[in-house]
Amino acid sequence: GYPVGEPDALLSLSVGTDDLLKQIDELAAFSDTPAPSVTRVIYTDKDVAARRYVKNLMKGAGLSVREDAVGNIFGRWVGSEPDLPAVATGSHMDAIPYSGKYDGVVGVLGAIEAINVLRRYGFKPKRSLEIVLFTSEEPTRFGISCLGSRLLAGSEELLKSLKSTVDAQNISFLDAARYAGYAQDQDDISSVVLKKGTYASFVELHIEQGPILEEEGTSIGIVTAIAAPASIKVDFEGGGGHAGAVLMPNRNDAGLAAAELALAVEKHVLESGSIDTVGTVGILDLHPGAINSIPSKAHLEIDTRDIDEGRRNEVIKKIHQSAFRIANNRGVKLSEFKIVNQDPPALSDESIIRAMEIASTELNLSRKLMISRAYHDSLFMARISPMGMIFIPCYKGYSHKPEEYSSMEDIANGVKAYYLA
Ligand code: GLV
Ligand code: MN
Ligand code: MN
Ligand code: MN
């Protein structure tokens, strides 16, 4: 709503697209791989530098900045009634290896620009407005997605497991966080948890990461629900041995067990009969990784999702059964089958959907109600706040690769829809 001034004046305001374009490019330069790819992994030097950059932008927008013990960053514009629950927005800026510069970033830099627009307009918020930059939406380093928002929403399981979580280099989560300036001794990770009701609403702006909006020429996607994600880690152990000397009948090849399981994942996903069920083996590591050595260990990580939680759980059950059967048939050991997360889907709040419909009508923008097949920090914010998401089109639906692209016009439309809603 508009507490001051004329809605028409707000409608005619323009988004600072030049600044926003420049900021997206500057932020993309904090990367461990060369442009156009972006790789920005949590608590690395590049991540710390990018955080500094964003905190400066927040301060430049007049926000007061707070960081919690895991590095969730909060930029607050204090309202005239500061005791009321704030209206919040935000997203992430960590980038998986060799990805693009828009995933997450649009929702962070776009939100800061939305604040700048509102300030230029002379808007005086009643409720405080808060931008949240979430720590580690991507599971790249510590294997768990939406780490920051999962904690904010009070995941006891994660609070417990983080005490013993390590990365692939065996660096503990706590040491990595300390390296980046967080989780200092006096900081108890459980202090991160937000009380339900802290926010009156939470809205995330994000690129669609799918092709629908662009194909249909629709400007704005209004998310009605976020699909239910799960991830699983599997280890097989076999006998290994010499690739020439051990004859085929005498092998217990852990690598072939993994290959067979990867195909079983595809089969079980397709058996669901629904286009909405998906499964991916994105990590497959063989040990010792030599051409002339039979793999003695194989490690897989499996991502599976569905808008229907029960159907996704059925797929997980079948994958588990296949892992047992394959190990048995091949005489290898299934040394680990760990469900890392098995999250329910989340529904957007009806009143936020309505507000976004009204905003898109006022802006004369075409819109589509749609589900999000990707997960987002909003999945967890929905546990403690009414939640909504705005999608903008992206080139051919590309995401999680360097070709990811959204036009400034589409980004600006998203920013407008956000501040109007
Ligand atoms: C998040 O990046 C996802 O995989 O949906
Ligand atoms: Mn992503
Ligand atoms: Mn994202
Ligand atoms: Mn995501």
Instruction: Enumerate the domain spans of the chain.
Output: 7-227+345-420, 230-342
Report how far residue 360's alpha carbon sits from residue 227's, in angstroms, rounded to the nearest whole number: 24
Q: Is the CB of 375 under 6 A from ligand 1?
A: yes
Among 270, 378, 352, 366, residue whose Cα is nearest residue 318: 270
Class of the CATH-defined domain 7-227+345-420: alpha beta
Phi/psi for 230 (5° steps) reads: -145, 150
Ligand 1 atom closest to Cα of 145? 1
The mean per-residue pLDDT over the stretch 147-171 comes to: 96
**Ligand 1, atom 2: nearest CA belongs to which residue?**
138
pLDDT at 181 over 50: yes
Lowest mean pLDDT among 284-293, 369-378, 410-419: 410-419
The mean per-residue pLDDT over the stretch 93-113 comes to: 97
Interval between CA 126 and ligand 4 midpoint (Å): 31
Interval between CA 185 and ligand 1 midpoint (Å): 32
Q: Is the CB of 138 under 6 A from ligand 1?
A: yes
Report how far residue 202's alpha carbon sits from residue 352's, in angstroms, rounded to the nearest whole number: 9
The mean per-residue pLDDT over the stretch 368-379 comes to: 97
The two tokens of residue 281 are 């083996």
pLDDT digits over 10-43, tens only?
Answer: 677 788 888 999 999 999 999 999 999 999 999 9
Q: What is the pLDDT of residue 234?
A: 98
Q: What angle do CA 227, 282, 146 make, to 5 degrees?
A: 45
Q: What is the pLDDT of residue 1?
A: 41
Interval between CA 373 and ligand 4 midpoint (Å): 9
pLDDT digits over 323-347, tens only?
Answer: 999 999 999 999 999 999 999 999 9
pLDDT at 235 over 60: yes
Interval between CA 72 and ligand 2 midpoint (Å): 17
Residue from 102, 375, 380 to probe ligand 1 pocket by mutation (most atoms less than 8 Å from CB): 375
User: How is residue 242 annotated by DSSP?
Assistant: B
Interval between CA 373 and ligand 1 midpoint (Å): 9
The mean per-residue pLDDT over the stretch 139-167 comes to: 96
The answer to whether residues 206 and 107 touch, using CB atoms and an 8 Å cutoff, is yes
Interval between CA 47 and ligand 4 midpoint (Å): 17
Residue 44 DSSP SS3? coil
pLDDT at 407 over 90: no
pLDDT at 8 over 70: no
Q: What is the pLDDT of residue 414?
A: 82
The residues with which 372 forms a beta bridge, in sequence order, are 226
pLDDT-based confidence at residue 4 (cuts at 50, 70, 90): very low
pLDDT at 3 over 60: no
Residue 237 DSSP SS3? strand
pLDDT-based confidence at residue 400 (cuts at 50, 70, 90): very high
Interval between CA 186 and ligand 4 midpoint (Å): 31
Which parts of 292-337 fold into alpha helices (H)? 309-330
Q: Is the CB of 30 under 6 A from ligand 1?
A: no
User: How is residue 191 annotated by DSSP?
Assistant: G
Q: Checking DSSP bridges between strand 38-40 and strand 86-92, what pairing results, if any?
A: unpaired
CATH match for 230-342 among 1.10.3720.10, 3.30.70.360, 1.10.357.10, 3.40.50.150: 3.30.70.360
Threshold 0.95, pTM exceeds: no
Q: What is the pLDDT of residue 132?
A: 98
Phi/psi for 72 (5° steps) reads: -65, 135
The environment of the single-atom ion ligand 4, i.e. residues with CB closer than 5 A, is 374, 376
Report how far residue 184's alpha carbon sits from residue 412's, in angstroms, rounded to the nearest whole number: 38
**Ligand 1, atom 5: nearest CA belongs to which residue?**
374
Answer with the residue of higher pLDDT: 168 or 4. Answer: 168
Helix (H) or strand (E) holding 226: strand 220-226
Residue from 39, 103, 145, 150 to probe ligand 1 pocket by mutation (most atoms less than 8 Å from CB): 145
pLDDT-based confidence at residue 82 (cuts at 50, 70, 90): very high
Residues of the chain above pLDDT 90, percent: 89
Phi-psi category of residue 11: left, alpha or beta, with phi > 0 → left and psi -120 to 50 → alpha = alpha
The answer to whether residues 71 and 180 touch, using CB atoms and an 8 Å cutoff, is yes
Residue 394 DSSP SS3? coil
The environment of the single-atom ion ligand 3, i.e. residues with CB closer than 5 A, is 103-104
- Residue in this structure with the two tokens 């600072």, named with its chain if needed: 16
pLDDT-based confidence at residue 380 (cuts at 50, 70, 90): very high
Compute CA distances 258 → 115, 233, 245, 313, 319, whole Å. Answer: 49, 11, 22, 21, 12
Burial (CB count within 10 angstroms: exposed 0-12, middle 13-18, buried 19+), residue 364: exposed
Q: What angle do CA 146, 368, 412 make, to 5 degrees?
A: 70
pLDDT digits over 279-320, tens only?
Answer: 999 999 999 999 999 999 999 999 999 999 999 999 999 999
